[in-house]
């Protein structure tokens, strides 16, 4: 089920907008590097993740404003 709107900037850069000021920014690199995904919630960086074709990646969470997250 698709619950986002995808906006393609070019073939290596796109944005998935989930609404409510939440979106993912995808940056794709050539070769086995895969893509780097940045998740923003409420206008702030929540986490980033390197997604390679081999799999096995976990997000790195950022908690700069811990009191602001619900």
Name the residue among 50, 52, 10, 48 with its Cα closest to residue 31: 52
pLDDT by residue (tens digit) across 7-16? 999 999 999 9
The confidence score (pLDDT) of residue 66 equals 56
Listed as own residue / partner, the contacts of 43-50 with beta carbons closer than 8 Å and 24 or more positions apart are 44/68
Looking at the domain assignment, is residue 24 inside a domain? yes
Looking at the domain assignment, is residue 57 inside a domain? yes
pLDDT by residue (tens digit) across 51-62? 877 666 777 776
Looking at the domain assignment, is residue 28 inside a domain? yes
Looking at the domain assignment, is residue 58 inside a domain? yes
pLDDT by residue (tens digit) across 24-52? 999 988 767 788 899 998 888 888 888 87
Which domain covers residue 44, as residue numbers?
Answer: 5-63
């Amino acid at each position: 089920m698709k619950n986002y709107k995808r906006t393609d900037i070019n073939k290596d850069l796109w944005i998935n907008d989930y609404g409510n000021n939440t979106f993912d920014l995808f940056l794709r690199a050539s070769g086995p590097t895969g893509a780097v995904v940045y998740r923003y919630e409420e206008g702030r960086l929540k986490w980033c993740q390197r997604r390679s074709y081999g799999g096995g990646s976990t997000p790195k969470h950022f908690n700069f404003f811990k009191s602001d997250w619900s």
